[in-house]
Amino acid sequence: MRMIKKSLSGLLIFSIMLCCPFVFAEQSPVIYLDISDIGKPAGNGEFELPIKAINYSQIYSYELLLNFDSEYLEAVDITGNTGGYEGLKEIDNDTGTIRYQYCIHDNNLSNNVLAKVTFEVIEVGITEVSIDKTSMFSTKPEEDDMQGGQTIEVDYDSSSDYTSSVTFTAGTVAAPKFVYDKTVFPYSMEVSFEWPDDGVKIYYTTRDGTEPKAEPKYEYDEPFEISNTTTVTAFAEKNGIKSRMVSQRFRREMGGMSGGGGSYSPVVSQPFIPQQQAVSPVSYTDIQNHWAKEYFLKLIERKIINGYEDNTIRPDRQISRAEAAKIITLAAGFSPAGDKSLSFADADEIADWAKGYVKVMFEKGIITGYEDATFKPTRNITRSELVVMAARAFALAQPVDMEITFSDKGNIPDWAINSISTAIQKGIISGYDDNTFRAYDYVTRAETSKVIAKCMGI
């Protein structure tokens, strides 16, 4: 049994209190618990809870009985406030009860405090402490009265400010800690938390830059993966007590897809319009003598590239990001997403025919938006961007031990080095006759058809 017991003889008034008649005063003393003086009742460790009184001038001695929730609290000690005489002191932490007898020596209570109980928080939770209303209070005995003073009737719950029972938070819950090596990632990353304590549950939510803030609602049980720039917000909870909220933003930087790797100028280009009726490859007269004819024919046969309504292919025309999304989606064997909803800030500028392709590429982590949350569907795609997108779609980007020898290799962005090295090694791309790669040059439809055909192995 977790019990503390202390007694002091010589105080006859405590032994005869129960048999004394009540004294009815004009203003009865009010006995109450005051959590406002605790400071931080939610703090872990020890804290003091004062038992106070108003209209206490008649009180000379008392026997105080307290009840507390021993699941969350352990009583360490109880002491009177004025340096008077202690009688019986019993603290039973198994049953959550305290019995304390005290004689106020000079009847001058500092801050109205009769006594203070020291508690230690042993578990986080919503807890309660109450004064047992069988507690007894008495007046000072007359000098010739060997039977002691008279019992006083007191008030315990005169108002919401003066109450014999208080409920408050015991202990605090530590906020969850994110586990990560870095906050910037190229493709995807795993998010996990350290568990603050046994019995704690962690709740989280994720959002990109376009979504409103929301209360964490998903219960965390194992690491989860993110593949786009994401803010993760979480809190821990135990026994109904929540920790403070914590947030961490993880930013995806990859290829030109996140806007990295150089500056770009918006180029207004005619969007690719898929044909309603199939046209025989021989009808596209503008590729008959073109160096990329064979690549076009293979892709046209597989319905990966179509021509325009005037039966042209326009092989030397630069290609937009929206067109690249469609061609790579079809070439990689993906189906366009049925749900065309997109969170890009310029989603309304993406043509309806392109939205399903952009959506599936975005979901698979092959493309993403720029740092301003736009996709820029009509912006022309660069050689670096195309190679990176194709390498991801066809799973070509693997570590290689190969030195790039282009004379302008210093202009190749870091995010594209690995993909370009792999594409060179596999014979998918090559440089120009002057040994340059020209990482930021825009790509034509002919160059795109060659890269895609070689990625497909046709």
Neighbours of 383 (CB within 10 A): 22
Strand (E) positions, 104-217?
113-121, 125-131, 136-138, 151-152, 165-170, 177-179, 184-185, 189-194, 201-207
DSSP 294: H
Dump pLDDT digits (tens) for 29-81.
Answer: 999 999 886 644 445 788 999 999 998 888 888 999 999 999 999 999 999 98
H/E stretch holding 103 reads strand 97-103
Residue from 350, 351, 356 nearest 375 by CA: 350
- Alpha helices of 332-382 — where are they, by DSSP H? 352-363
The pair of three-digit structure tokens given for residue 285, joined into one six-digit string = 């007269």
Half-sphere exposure for 431 (CA within 13 Å, toward CB): 15
Contacts of 133 (CB under 8 A, 6+ apart): 156, 164
Q: How far apart are CA 111 and CA 428, in angstroms?
A: 85
Q: How far apart are CA 282 and CA 230, in angstroms?
A: 48
- Asked whether the beta carbons of 152 and 138 are under 8 A apart, the reply is yes
Dump pLDDT digits (tens) for 240-256.
Answer: 899 999 999 988 764 33
- Asked whether the beta carbons of 437 and 431 are under 8 A apart, the reply is yes
Q: How far apart are CA 380 and CA 181, in angstroms?
A: 34
- In the chain, the amino acid numbered 232 is V
147: three-class secondary structure by DSSP:
coil
Per-residue pLDDT of the chain (458 residues; tens, 9 = 90+): 455 555 443 333 344 343 444 444 458 899 999 988 664 444 578 899 999 999 888 888 899 999 999 999 999 999 998 777 888 999 999 999 999 999 886 667 888 999 999 999 999 999 999 999 999 999 888 775 555 678 999 999 988 889 999 998 888 888 999 998 888 877 667 899 987 677 899 999 988 765 667 789 889 988 887 767 889 999 999 998 999 999 999 887 643 333 323 322 222 223 333 333 444 555 688 888 899 999 999 998 888 988 777 778 889 989 998 999 999 999 988 888 888 888 888 888 888 889 999 999 988 888 877 778 888 888 889 999 999 899 888 887 565 567 788 888 888 888 888 888 888 888 898 888 888 999 888 899 999 999 999 998 88
- Asked whether the beta carbons of 417 and 411 are under 8 A apart, the reply is no
Q: How far apart are CA 441 and CA 447, in angstroms?
A: 11
- Asked whether the beta carbons of 378 and 318 are under 8 A apart, the reply is no
Please state whether beta strands 22-23 and 151-152 pair in parallel, antiparallel, or not at all (unpaired): parallel
Contacts of 318 (CB under 8 A, 6+ apart): 267, 269, 380, 442, 443, 444, 445
Structural domains of the chain, ranges and CATH numbers in brackets: 3-170 (2.60.40.680), 177-252 (2.60.40), 256-456 (no CATH)
Dump pLDDT digits (tens) for 447-458.
Answer: 999 999 999 888
Q: What angle do CA 81, 82, 85 make, to 5 degrees?
A: 100
Q: How far apart are CA 215 and CA 113, in angstroms?
A: 42
DSSP 250: E
Q: How far apart are CA 90 and CA 370, in angstroms?
A: 69
